[in-house]
Every structure is written in C-alpha cells, then in structure tokens.
Amino acid sequence: MTVSTQGLQIRTGSQALRTAVELLSSMRFSISLLTVICIASVIGTVLKQAEPLTNYVNQFGPFWAELFLALKLNAVYSAWWFLLILAFLVISTSLCIARNTPKIVSDLKAYKENLREQSLQAFHHRAQAALGTEPTETAARRIGATLAGGGWKVKLQARDNGWMVAAKAGAANKLGYIAAHSAIVLVCLGGLLDGDLIVRAQMFFGGITPYAGGGMIADVKPEHRLPATNPTFRGNLLVAEGTQSGTAILNQSDGIVLQELPFSIELKKFIVEHYSTGMPKLFASEIVIHDRETGEKIPARVEVNHPASHRGIEIYQSSFDDGGSSVKLKSVPIHVGAKPFEIEGVIGGTSQLTKGPGEGADKMTLEYTGLRVINVENFGGNSASGADARKVDLRSSLESRMGAANKTATKKELRNVGPSISYKLRDGAGQAREFHNYMLPVDMGDGVPVYLMGVRDTPAEQFRYLRVPADDQGAIDGFVQLRAALSDPGMRDLAVKRYSAKATDSSRPELQAQLAASAGKALGLFAGDGQPATGKPTGGLQAISDFMEANVPEAERNRAGEVLVRILNGALFELAQLSRERSGQKPLEPNEKTQGFMNQAVLALSDAQAYPVPMAFQLKDFTQVQASVFQVTRGPGKNIVYLGCALLILGVFAMLYVRERRVWIWLSERDGQTQASMALSSNRKMMDTDREFDRLKQKLLGLQP
C-alpha cells in the first residue's frame, strides 16, 4: 500500500470548505509546516533569545532590531505564530493519521488470498515445482505449518480446483507509519502544553496583564499574578542567602507575570567549588522547601543537572547572583581638585554624589551593580578564558586600554586576581558610564603590580583599563601623592630645581638654568598647566607630542623628543621623592623596582588625563551575600514528549529496518501430480529478499537455489 499525499476528501459543504479540509489534511501541507518550524528553530538557535532591546540594536542596528521584535524573533518559541504553526501541524498530522489509519489497519488484516494463479507469474520472485503425488490439501497444510513455524502469519483457502496458501510477515513496517506520525502529534502537543500557550490563554480569558513597572514583588497587584494551580509554567526565582521566596517571574515580551508557587524556597547556603586552576567545578544550593499547605519543611540540595522536585514542580540551579552584599569604597582622586573620601553601599542600591563644591554643583548617582569575589583571568595570550562567568578575557580587554601595553607570552595562564567591584556613575541627564575596578594589584607580567580601573561608555564596548602602579607598600597612595604633587606648581618648581641641580655641574650655572627651564616646561606641559580646555586631554604625553610637532622641525623631533622625555622622567622622579618626603616616607631607592614603578606611573599619569570622571572608586572592604537563581518548571507535557520520542524511534526503526513480505503458493492437481506456483513480494528490493526467497523455495518446494 502506498500512502497518498492527497488530503481527506469530504463530499458535503461548500467547495471552499472541501478544499480547505483537503489541504489541511494533506501530507504536503504537513511537510510545509515542518519546514517552517525547522527554519524558525534555526533562527531561534542562531539569534540569542530574550535579550534586552539594546543588545539587538548594538549588534544589528535599529532597523533590524525593530523588525526582529515585530516578528517576535527574539522569542521564537513563545511567539504567537510559532504556537499557531504547532497547532496547525497537530491538526494536519492528526487528520493524516485519521485518513490513512483505516487503510493501514485494513491492509494489515488482509492476506490477499484471492489472488489468481495467473497473477503469480507477474511477480519478480516466482517459482514453480512438482510435488509428486502428495494431495493438494496435505501439501497446503504442510507448507502453512512450515511458514507459521518460521514466524509467518498464514491463511489457507480451499478452491474448487486447488488450494491457496497466503502468508505475510513484517507488518510492523506499516505500524511504523502510524507510530512516527503519532510521535509528531505528541511532541507538538507536549510543546504546546509546556510552552506559553496555556499561560497566554489564562492571561486572555482570566484578565491577567503583564507588569512593566518596578518595585517590590509584594507590591505587585493580583491582576499581574497567576495562581498556584497553573498547570504549566517556566519561570525564574532569585533567593538570597538567609531569605526565602515563593513567587517566580515569568518573562513576557511586554513585561513580566508573577507565578505563585505552592511552596517557598529558603536558601541556606550557596556553594561554589573550584579546580586548582581557579575554574568553577560545582555550583550548588542548600535549600529548605516550605510547603504552604502542610507546613512541612523539606531540606534539599540543588546542583547543576541535578534538580529537586516538589508537588510536580522541578527546581533547577539556573545561575547565581549577588544577594545584596555590603561594600565600602574609597575614592581615588584622578583629576585635579578631587578629594578622597569613603562611602558605603549595597549591591543593587545607589548613593548620591556631588560633582564639585557648592550648592549648584552637578549631582551624580553612584549605582552599585556587581561584586565578584573571585576573578580567574587568562594572562597567557589572546585566547579566551572560560573560567570567569562573565566570559571576559582580561588580556584582550587590555588591548584597548588607555596607554601602552607590553606584550606577553601567548600560552594560556589562568590566575585568580581577587575581588572586583562594578558600578555606574549616572549624571543628571541620565547618561551613565560603567566602571570595573579590581581590589588588589595585578602583575601583568612585567614585574610591576598595577591596580586595574576599567571604564566603558556603553555595554557594547569592552572595558578600557587605566593601570595605576602599586607603590613599595603595595598600595595606591604613592600614585595619588604623585598626582597631587604634579598639580601643585610650587612642588613642580622645587622638583625642577632639585633635578637641575643634581643633573648639572654647579660650576656651570647657565647650563643649570637651561635644564631647569626645559624641565619646567616639560613638567608643565605634562601636567596640563596653563593650556586651554578644548574638551580633549590637555596634558600627558600627548601634550608633549603636540608641543614638539608645533615647535621642533621634523628632522630634529626624534632626538629632541628623547631628550625631553628623559628630562621629564628625571623631574617626575624628584617630584615623587618630594611627595614622599612631605608625607614622612622614606625616599625611593634607585633600583629596578623603582624604575619600573616610575615608568608605569608616567604612563598612568598620562592616561589619567583621559579618564572621564574626577575620581575612581577602589573596593576597600565588603561583606558578601550570595543568591541563587532557580528555574522552577511545571511541565505536564514532558512525559508526553518522552512518549512521542519513544514512538518516533520505534516508528523510524520499523519503517527503515522492517521489511514487509508476502508469500502466495497455489497448489493444484494436474495429471495425477500436485503442481505448486510460488511468488513473493517485498516493499524493498534488497539482496536479503533474494536470499530469503531462495531459502523458501528450498524449504517449501524442495527447489535448489
């Protein structure tokens, strides 16, 4: 039996109705729907789902981002058109099954024993033999018993002029068609049950609307909440250590819907284990499930790929977050006039700052966005580090840092560089910059530990890092003192006098005066003293470069530049010694360590001119509070999908590996001899069929192959 691609033919109703039913129940329509679903699934795999709008705008541009959102390509699997296609596929495939199943069942029951003797000669596999004087009935029963013993289903038919033996095997091949198509229906039904269809139906018929505002979960009104009896949902639940929550968040394209749970989850402890390289090995949560109906407290442990279950709801370890850690920050003056101070806050909270003195000064908001206690970074080259959950390779980030960066070896080297703080500074107009600063100094491979202070203007950019060298005490104070001394004209003049006196012979006062003038000019340019504000950095190495281009002939710039930079370095060293003397510290020893500090300090002072805000914030102390993000799901369609997958495997196996065969043997008496005509048919032309026919000829008719 061949399966037709035509649809169900009905004889009543209008022509349009008959055409619609035929199309909907046809195999060609089902295949078209499957093709569209495959294309949509590819889009949903390639295009990141449920990302913020700004991410799509940054990656594809405003036009394509708006188009993706209009077509719901950012949430393919919950889009109305995707669910509608699934529903049509279920209807179409069900109609296909309903149309073909009676034919298949009828064919399974039929032995086709009424086949005429002449028809047997038309088969490819046919044979004839004389069975001697054995009666036709005896021969028919013997052949039937032999076939039945070999696993064939046999039917004997007595006719006026002989006996017909009809047998069949491999009927599971046709059952594979029903199983495979039923599997498609079950998988689609499971997808519809576990998708957003039921949630959307409850929202539509129950008056539930998405919530697009902010604030506390407890303050959200009932019209934005789904009941605990909701038969299917998939949401996220954030629980901080020492707290409990029983309301999940279901993300919608135009807001969120809150899902009440029949229990609440209390997080006792969040556990992170690491390998010796610092890479995470285990994320787990020790929880207590509080049943709201019985009051029972059930301890459980949730790990990645090892969920807990209660009242038909699966609890998965999805990710982790900060649960409201308290931090203490110390401001590091970067620009002239900034004053150091300390401030305390909570991750997720904000603090108000004043940009400059006076009542009319600009207000800025400090937003505490993240605390990371462990940061495992790759210092061995440009290969991406897989250890940090942020997927940020520090080495590649520093390629775009402010100032020069030395290259290191390209081998992979993972190191834990300690805690870091992330925050945003938002001005009165609502514009914000994001900052990422490390608490401890990091040795980038050149022997000079530096404090890394990252900044970026938009989330689409990588962080640009200002590298501030640590002093001989491992602190940032030495750089801060040097920066303050550089902004003091009196300190600069005194440093120039000391430098010129040490670098020249006291018997040549005219040479000392020339060197002092050159050093004073270089130090003033580097400090940005007396230069007009143009909106660009007015000091640093760029100011010296601009001065050279404007005042020194091109042929002499290289030599003059080397001399001027050497003078600048000498004057800055004396300035550093003066700053330490004023603070009661010992002078720096003239060794390689001091030289490395000064070289990096020169670069940092130059880069600081381009730092976009007057101060940076260094993490001084913190009390970490961790939180787990759980995914809670109730999926009644899961078992249906499992059943569908099992049927699909069985159906495909039956259709591909089970051969349907039929055998007919006509027995008649001629001239006192019993004559046998045999034929075999199979739904596949294979060498196995030829070999099987040869065996049957020998076994049933005594013919040699």
Residues 466 and 485 in one domain: no
Residue 704 has pLDDT above 80, yes or no: no
Residue-wise pLDDT tens digits, 572-597: 999 999 999 988 899 988 888 999 99
Rounded to 5 degrees, what angle do the CA atoms 204, 257, 266 make? 140
Whole-number Cα distances in Å, 97 to 6, 26, 35, 284, 643:
12, 10, 19, 46, 17
Residue with tokens 């007595």: 158
Q: Which among 555, 571, 587 is the end of a domain? A: 587
pLDDT score recorded for residue 676: 92
pLDDT score recorded for residue 409: 45
Residue 479 has pLDDT above 60, yes or no: yes
Residue 15 has pLDDT above 80, yes or no: no
End-to-end CA separation in angstroms for the chain: 29
Q: Is residue 654 part of a domain?
A: no
Residue 361 has pLDDT above 70, yes or no: no
Q: Helix, strand or coil for residue 160?
A: coil
Q: Of the spans 216-220, 413-417, 527-531, which averages the highest pLDDT?
A: 216-220
Q: Is residue 578 part of a domain?
A: yes
pLDDT score recorded for residue 358: 43
Can you say whether the dihedral through the CA atoms of 381, 371, 54, 430 is positive or negative? Answer: negative
Residue-wise pLDDT tens digits, 256-301: 899 999 999 999 999 888 776 667 788 899 999 999 999 999 999 9
Of the two residues 396 and 517, the one the predictor is more confident about is 517
In percent, the amount of the chain with pLDDT more than 90 equals: 38
Q: Is residue 367 part of a domain?
A: yes
Residue 530 has pLDDT above 90, yes or no: no
The torsion defined by the Cα of 576, 577, 581 and 585, in degrees rounded to 10, comes to 90
Residue-wise pLDDT tens digits, 318-351: 888 888 899 999 999 988 778 889 999 999 899 9
Q: Report the alpha-carbon distance of residue 49 to residue 73 in Å, rounded.
A: 8
Q: Is residue 619 part of a domain?
A: no
pLDDT score recorded for residue 347: 92
The upper half-sphere exposure of residue 89, i.e. CA atoms within 13 Å in the direction of its Cβ, equals 26
Look at the pTM and tell me if it is higher than 0.75.
Answer: no
Q: Is residue 383 part of a domain?
A: yes
Rounded to 5 degrees, what angle do the CA atoms 438, 440, 446 make? 100
Residues 387 and 437 in one domain: yes
Q: Report the alpha-carbon distance of residue 643 to residue 649 in Å, rounded.
A: 10
Confidence of residue 392 (pLDDT cuts 50, 70, 90): very low
pLDDT score recorded for residue 363: 81
Across the range 142-170, mean pLDDT stands at 92
Can you say whether the dihedral through the CA atoms of 478, 480, 484, 487 is positive or negative? Answer: positive
Strand runs labelled E in 334-446: 342-346, 350-355, 362-372, 376-378, 414-416, 420-426, 432-438, 442-443
pLDDT score recorded for residue 646: 93
Confidence of residue 663 (pLDDT cuts 50, 70, 90): very high
Beta strands at 225-226 and 255-274: parallel, antiparallel or unpaired = parallel
Residues 86 and 138 in one domain: no
Residues 315 and 337 in one domain: no
Q: Is residue 616 part of a domain?
A: no
Residues 487 and 433 in one domain: no
Of the two residues 4 and 685, the one the predictor is more confident about is 685
Across the range 434-444, mean pLDDT stands at 92
- Domain of 300, CATH number, reads 2.60.98
Residue 402 has pLDDT above 50, yes or no: no
Residue-wise pLDDT tens digits, 596-619: 999 999 999 999 988 998 899 999
Residues 503 and 396 in one domain: no
Residue-wise pLDDT tens digits, 108-131: 889 998 888 889 989 999 999 998
Residues 578 and 493 in one domain: yes
Residue 603 parent element (H or E): helix 592-608
Q: Is residue 620 part of a domain?
A: no
| Nearest residue to 289 via CA among 251, 230, 237 | 237
Q: Which among 441, 470, 499 is the end of a domain? A: 470
| Nearest residue to 528 via CA among 302, 305, 335 | 335
pLDDT score recorded for residue 356: 53
Whole-number Cα distances in Å, 270 to 89, 261, 312, 589:
44, 21, 24, 48
Average pLDDT, the chain: 85
Residue 308 parent element (H or E): strand 308-310
pLDDT score recorded for residue 11: 64
Q: Is residue 193 part of a domain?
A: no
Burial class of 657 by CB neighbour count within 10 A (0 to 12, 13 to 18, 19+)? exposed
Residues 77 and 125 in one domain: no
Q: Report the alpha-carbon distance of residue 107 to residue 61 in Å, rounded.
A: 59
Q: Report the alpha-carbon distance of residue 300 to residue 162 in Å, rounded.
A: 76
Residue-wise pLDDT tens digits, 507-526: 777 888 888 888 888 888 88
Residues 364 and 419 in one domain: yes
Residue 545 has pLDDT above 80, yes or no: yes
Across the range 225-249, mean pLDDT stands at 91
Contacts 24+ apart (CB under 8 A), 134-138: 134/674, 135/669, 135/674, 136/162, 136/163, 136/667, 136/668, 136/669, 136/674, 137/163
Radius of gyration of the chain (CA): 41
- Structural domain boundaries enclosing 42: 15-107
Residue-wise pLDDT tens digits, 45-72: 888 887 777 778 878 888 888 888 888 8
**Three-state secondary structure readout of 497-538:** HHHHHHHCCCCCHHHHHHHHHHHHHHHHHHHCCCCCCCCCCC
Q: Using an 8 Å Cβ cutoff, are 674 and 133 in contact?
A: yes
Q: Report the alpha-carbon distance of residue 61 to residue 45 in Å, rounded.
A: 20
Q: Report the alpha-carbon distance of residue 695 to residue 679 in Å, rounded.
A: 13
Into how many domains does the chain fold? 5
pLDDT score recorded for residue 166: 94
Residue 536 has pLDDT above 70, yes or no: no
Q: Which among 444, 470, 496 is the end of a domain? A: 470
Residue 265 parent element (H or E): strand 255-274
Residues 674 and 550 in one domain: no
β-pair partners for 342: 330
Of the two residues 99 and 214, the one the predictor is more confident about is 99
Q: Of the spans 203-207, 398-402, 424-428, which averages the highest pLDDT?
A: 424-428
Strand runs labelled E in 68-148: 125-130
Neighbours of 550 (CB within 10 A): 7
Provide CB contacts within 8 A for 389, sequence distance 6+.
Answer: 280, 319
Residues 342 and 450 in one domain: yes
Neighbours of 20 (CB within 10 A): 14
Residues 448 and 486 in one domain: no
